[in-house]
Amino acid sequence: MGTFLLENAAELGRAAGVGMFRLDCAESNEVLRSYYAVHGFHEVGRHHVPGLFPVTLFEKRI
């Protein structure tokens, strides 16, 4: 289901003229970070929102 959702989101983005797919997840979620990497996303940074948890930022050209 996750792959289906990622592919459909990318398809919608391309159709709308978007060239970059960006997402984030909790920095501590190693499973999801690995999943995104397997699907072609690259870590591009980290961010910490005060009062929340640190997140890892990902990008993929579409």
Mean pLDDT of 34-55: 95
Q: CB–CB of 8/56 below 8 Å?
A: no
pLDDT tens digits for 6-37?
999 999 999 999 999 999 999 999 999 999 99
> How many structural domains does the chain have?
1
Contacts of 51 (CB under 8 A, 6+ apart): none
Rounded to two decimals, the pTM is 0.87
Query: Which residues span the domain enclosing 55?
Result: 2-61
DSSP 1-62: -HHHHHHHHHHHHHHTT--EEEEEEETT-HHHHHHHHHTT-EEEEEEE-TTS-EEEEEEEE-
* Res 57 pLDDT > 90: yes
CATH number at 26 reads: 3.40.630.30
pLDDT at 49: 84
